[in-house]
């Protein structure tokens, strides 16, 4: 019985080994004939998702850093500054109404902080003088617009005017949980696409006036996309 058991055990082990070899050959053959392994695509997707998350994190950190600099220049807390911005005021309006401060001074303070970092990179040879000047011009334009425009790309007054309602009526609709896009599509003779066009035109005109007065090069890239994303969700409004 012991000899039979041992022989049986050897046979089982041999069968397992053969099966493993056959399975390995089949897997190798399938992998060779079916292109990249599915796991590779999964890993690539994971890397892309991680990259997007990293970019978002950097963007959030970047915005927080600028808000901290603005609060420091204005002599207020970040919480107080956020509260004022949520009320619909721009950084320029807040700065101009703060004793001893101004919108131009705030812009210079924010640009100076960025310029110092660029100067460090240029000094280290990581940035050419010509590229440094281009970056500085881009930074001043971006910061000027950030300081001068409301934090949200959606102009509630322009939205209400397009929809033919008062600002108060529109805010009531938004508080009920409806998005601007839904409100527009349910309004006779109006549409979300029409609202986007109206808001893009209004904001583009505002941007054009700001950059012209500041002697900056125009830049409207991404405006339509930002407005489209904004109207698809109900903005948080204050009564």
Three-state SS annotation for the chain: CHHHHHHHHHHHHHHHHHHHHHHHHHHHHHHHHCCCCHHHHHHHHHHHHHHHHHHHHHHHHHHHHHHHHHHHHHCCCHHHHHHHHHCCCCHHHHHHCCCCCCHHHHHHHHHHHHHHHHHHHHHCCCCCHHHHHHHHHHHHHHHHHHHHCCCCCCCHHHHHHHHCCCHHHHHHHHHCCCCHHHHHHCCCCCCHHHHHHHHHHHHHHHHHHHHHHCCCCCCCCCHHHHHHHHHCCCCCCCC
Looking at the 3D structure of the chain, how many domains does it have?
Answer: 2
Q: In this model, does residue 74 exceed pLDDT 80?
A: yes
Q: Is residue 4 in some structural domain?
A: no
Q: Is residue 2 in some structural domain?
A: no
Return the pLDDT at 220: 55
**How much is the average pLDDT of 179-198?**
93
Q: Is residue 161 in some structural domain?
A: yes
Q: What are phi and psi of 119, to 5 degrees?
A: -60, -40
Of 125, 151, 177, the domain-final residue: 151
Q: In this model, does residue 222 exceed pLDDT 90?
A: no
Please check whether residues 141 and 181 belong to one and the same domain: no
Quick: pLDDT tens for 92-146: 999 999 999 999 999 999 999 888 888 787 777 777 888 888 888 888 888 988 8
Residue ranges making up the domain that contains 93: 39-151
Of 151, 170, 190, the domain-final residue: 151
Residues 207, 200: Cα–Cα separation, whole Å: 10
Quick: pLDDT tens for 12-60: 444 444 444 434 443 444 344 444 555 555 566 656 555 555 444 444 4
Return the pLDDT at 119: 78
Please check whether residues 158 and 92 belong to one and the same domain: no
Please check whether residues 89 and 184 belong to one and the same domain: no
Q: In this model, does residue 196 exceed pLDDT 60?
A: yes
Return the pLDDT at 221: 53
Q: Is residue 22 in some structural domain?
A: no
Q: Is residue 146 in some structural domain?
A: yes
Please check whether residues 134 and 180 belong to one and the same domain: no
Please check whether residues 160 and 92 belong to one and the same domain: no
Return the pLDDT at 73: 93
In this prediction the pTM is 0.54
Please check whether residues 49 and 139 belong to one and the same domain: yes
Return the pLDDT at 136: 86
**In percent, how much of the chain has pLDDT > 70?**
67
Q: Please state the length of the chain.
A: 239
Least confident of 51-65, 106-120, 146-160, 190-204: 51-65
Return the pLDDT at 121: 75
Please check whether residues 60 and 125 belong to one and the same domain: yes
Please check whether residues 99 and 191 belong to one and the same domain: no
Please check whether residues 127 and 209 belong to one and the same domain: no
**In percent, how much of the chain has pLDDT > 90?**
26
Please check whether residues 59 and 137 belong to one and the same domain: yes
């Amino acid at each position: 019985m012991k000899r039979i058991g041992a022989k049986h055990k050897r046979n089982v082990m041999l069968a397992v080994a053969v099966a493993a070899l056959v399975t390995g050959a089949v897997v190798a053959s399938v992998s060779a004939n079916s292109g990249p392994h599915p796991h590779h695509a999964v890993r690539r997707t994971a890397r892309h998702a991680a990259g997007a998350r990293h970019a978002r994190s950097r963007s959030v950190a970047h915005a927080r850093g600028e808000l901290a600099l603005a609060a420091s220049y204005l002599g207020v807390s970040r919480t107080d500054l956020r509260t004022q911005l949520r009320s619909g005021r721009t950084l320029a309006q807040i700065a101009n109404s703060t004793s001893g401060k101004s919108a131009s001074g705030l812009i210079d303070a924010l640009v100076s902080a960025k310029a110092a970092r660029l100067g460090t990179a240029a000094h280290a040879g990581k940035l050419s003088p010509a590229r440094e000047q281009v970056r500085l011009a881009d930074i001043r334009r971006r910061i000027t617009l950030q300081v001068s425009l409301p934090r949200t790309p959606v102009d509630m007054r322009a939205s209400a005017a397009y929809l033919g309602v008062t600002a108060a009526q529109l805010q009531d609709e938004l508080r009920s949980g409806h998005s601007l896009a839904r409100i527009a599509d349910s309004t006779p003779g109006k549409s979300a696409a029409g609202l986007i066009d109206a808001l893009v035109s209004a904001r583009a005109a505002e941007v054009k006036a700001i950059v012209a007065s500041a002697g900056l090069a125009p830049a409207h890239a991404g405006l339509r996309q930002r407005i489209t994303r904004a109207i698809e969700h109900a903005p948080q409004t204050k009564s």
